[in-house]
Structure 1
Amino acid sequence: MSKALRAAYGEALIELGQNNERVVVLDADLAHATMTSMFAEKYPDRFYNFGIAEANMVCAAAGMAHSGLVPFVSTFSIFGAGRAYEMVRNSVAYTHANVKLACTHGGLSVGEDGGSHEAIEDIALMREIPGMTVLVPGDCIEVRKAVMAAAEIDGPVYIRVSRQPSPDVTSPDAKFEIGKASVLRSGKDVCIMAIGLMLPHALAAAELLEKNGVSAEVVNMCSIKPIDREYVMAANRSFKAIVTAEEHSVLGGLGGAVAELIAGTCGAKFGRVGVQDRFGRSGTPEALFEAYGLTAENIAEKCRELLGI
């Protein structure tokens, strides 16, 4: 059975804490949901619960970072990227504090918690902050790699960790490099660029397209910022169409990042699969993905539309 990505995050923190005594973890009264409770049990002297005070937590993390510590700050994406935005911008990024903001419960897969808790704009908010690295791992294997990579670089990082379980689609042996895309399936007609929980749907869409005689390449775009400009521009020259797939608004996320790169060029037709200009709502993740057009069939249909078949 697939493991929740947030559980992989908790395990990665423990491993990181064993290897680096400067790592500290901060949470805002959601440790059992974000799985930072795993770190708290192992290293209670390096865990700080700030209660429902996300702004204070982020500011304290900035101070800790400037004192030589490596803080991992966790809460739900809607609170970390939303409620504490000003502090992330001014206290962390503006001062280039070495803070890692690892937020769980991003996107529609939050499910029954409803639209108030479903962050569908967090990637856009974090991506626009100068100097902020933005990572969206797609499975438990990649969550661990993203956490380790974030700890190695100097500067602010935002990691979006999903609430739900997801099958492993990446290889433990695959190299993880910030700023680089990773091809999960090679193809020649259409390129599907996906992140997070949309990766399994993208791979399933490629299987559907194969039945139509369409060869689809599926690419893991975990590193939203910096994005793999070289790969995106090469794909724009090589494929008939590019489709992005994300559990996020089509405005400002992966689709926006790719569109910004290829705008004004003569290349592939371009389409986006994601949340349109609307809020989320309560429901099971499966029902919400269906209602908001985030299924494998939706991705395949967008590809067919662009290819004219």
Structure 2
Amino acid sequence: MTTTTATAAASTAPAATGAPAAQPKRLTTSAMIASFADPGQRTSPAPFGRAMVELAERDPRVVGLTADLGKYTDMHVFAQAHPGRFFQMGMAEQLLFGAAAGMAETGLVPFASTYSVFAARRAYDFICLDIAEPNLNVNVVGGLPGLTTGYGPSHQATEDVAIFRGMPNLTIVDPCDALDIEQAVPQLAAHEGPTYLRLLRGKVPLVLDEYDYTFELGKAKVVRGGRDVVLVSSGLMTMRALQAAEKLAAHKVDAAVVHSPTLKPFDEETVLRELAGDRLAVTLENHTVVGGLFETVASAAVRTGLGKQILPVALPDEFIDAGALPTLHDRYGLATDRVVERVLAAM
């Protein structure tokens, strides 16, 4: 198991003359932490897998496929409940999506899971020509999107949205929490064309149930109102935006949060309505600053003539280090305290 070690930077004086100094505590955490939940936070286990099971019980057309990653995309929950409708394709992502396309041609509704890096980088042409061009109902499920693993660039899909946004017919969904995922799955299945879901797996935080929120495919939602700042976010960064809004209140800053789980097609009407006026506008995303939510919002503002400065909170245009997620989120600006600092500096 890959690990990172941090040494506490506190100096301690000896208790008495000649006594040895206390040794700083060594902190060791796994780099393969795939959960971004805070300590003590409410979570829901395997929401995607459970939603798949419930959907399959209502719809006999639903099938599940994976490329040797059932356990790590929560597809194993579906496999256990419906073994006759689960297909293990092995480490062959092009085959995975080619088979899913064939199933969709016969009237089935496939959900095909792998890591986002393999779907976006390795199997792009198969998804584009076999699935998107004929506009088939295939649901691509990508695990470890953005910075949700510490295993470095080989596993961190920090540019997947940028890669997929240019693909015609493809709907892209970036859920915030377990509620978002559970409500999105049946809507993705009902959608006629192909979809790409940036999956959060394992013990996923439960956040949006406290805000009278429901997922609607293609719609952004104002989760929280505020007079001074508008935080437009997607994915796990909506959780961070809500946490930042609470902390900003202590600085007498009233922050609104607009959650945009569907990145394509983008709900320009809702988002631009909230950006109108003189409030500070900030976008937050678990993705590189290139080609994701920030550029989607900015281009919509320019095309509609909205003269507005929009500040991005996003990953830099570079390969991300390996390490433990809490350290990496802090280093690259995704941690709640870094978001608060960014907003206060811009006010």
Q: Same fold (TM over 0.5)?
A: yes
Alignment of 1:128 onto 2:159: no
8 Å Cα contact 1:187/1:216 also seen in 2: yes
The residue type equivalent to 1:238 in the other structure is: G
- Structure 1 window deviating more from structure 2 (154-163 vs 232-241): it is 232-241
Q: Which residue of 2 aligns with 1:300?
A: 340
8 Å Cα contact 2:142/2:196 also seen in 1: yes
TM-score for the superposition, normalised by structure 2: 0.84
Measured on the aligned residues, the alpha-carbon RMSD in Å equals 1.7
Q: Which residue of 2 aligns with 1:96?
A: 135
Alignment of 1:280 onto 2:320: yes
Report deviation, 1:239: 4.2
How big is each residue's C-alpha offset from its partner over 1:91-135, in whole Å with a ceiling of 9 and x where there is no partner? 110110110011111111212x22210100111212221111110
How big is each residue's C-alpha offset from its partner over 1:244-269, in whole Å with a ceiling of 9 and x where there is no partner? 11111011111111111012634332
For residue 191 of structure 1, give the secondary structure of its aligned residue in structure 2.
strand
Change (3 A) 1:245 1:124: same
Separation in 1, partners of 2:321, 2:172: 25
8 Å Cα contact 1:12/1:147 also seen in 2: yes
8 Å Cα contact 2:243/2:336 also seen in 1: yes
Aligned residues: 305
Judging by fraction of residues, say which structure has more helix.
1
Q: Which residue of 2 aligns with 1:67?
A: 106
The residue type equivalent to 2:323 in the other structure is: G
Q: Which residue of 1 aligns with 2:54?
A: 15
Report deviation, 1:2: 3.8
How big is each residue's C-alpha offset from its partner over 1:188-242, in whole Å with a ceiling of 9 and x where there is no partner? 2211011222122111211222222221101111111111111122122134221
Q: Which residue of 1 aligns with 2:67?
A: 28
8 Å Cα contact 2:47/2:201 also seen in 1: no
Match of 1:84 among 123, 139, 143: 123
Separation in 2, partners of 1:4, 1:122: 25
For residue 257 of structure 1, give the secondary structure of its aligned residue in structure 2.
helix
The residue type equivalent to 2:120 in the other structure is: A
Q: Which residue of 2 aligns with 1:200?
A: 239
Match of 2:194 among 156, 165, 172: 156
8 Å Cα contact 2:47/2:204 also seen in 1: no
Higher Cα Rg: structure 1 or 2? 2
For residue 34 of structure 1, give the secondary structure of its aligned residue in structure 2.
coil
The residue type equivalent to 1:134 in the other structure is: I
Report deviation, 1:86: 0.8
For residue 171 of structure 1, give the secondary structure of its aligned residue in structure 2.
helix
8 Å Cα contact 1:24/1:46 also seen in 2: yes
Separation in 2, partners of 1:232, 1:148: 25
Q: Which residue of 2 aligns with 1:147?
A: 185
Change (3 A) 1:75 1:2: farther
Separation in 1, partners of 2:185, 2:122: 23
Separation in 2, partners of 1:11, 1:189: 39
- Structure 1 window deviating more from structure 2 (259-268 vs 243-252): it is 259-268
Separation in 1, partners of 2:257, 2:246: 11
8 Å Cα contact 1:9/1:143 also seen in 2: yes
- Structure 1 window deviating more from structure 2 (65-74 vs 297-306): it is 297-306
For residue 192 of structure 1, give the secondary structure of its aligned residue in structure 2.
strand
Report 1:30-49 matches (<5 A).
30-49=69-88
Q: Which residue of 1 aligns with 2:157?
A: 119
Report deviation, 1:302: 2.7
Separation in 1, partners of 2:307, 2:229: 12
Separation in 1, partners of 2:189, 2:153: 32
Q: Which residue of 1 aligns with 2:276?
A: 237
Q: Which residue of 2 aligns with 1:167?
A: 205
Q: Which residue of 1 aligns with 2:310?
A: 270
Unaligned segments of structure 1, at least 5 residues: none
The residue type equivalent to 1:293 in the other structure is: G
TM-score for the superposition, normalised by structure 1: 0.94
Report deviation, 1:163: 4.2
Report deviation, 1:183: 1.7
- The percentage of counterpart residues that share the same residue type is 38
For residue 247 of structure 1, give the secondary structure of its aligned residue in structure 2.
strand
Q: Which residue of 2 aligns with 1:291?
A: 331
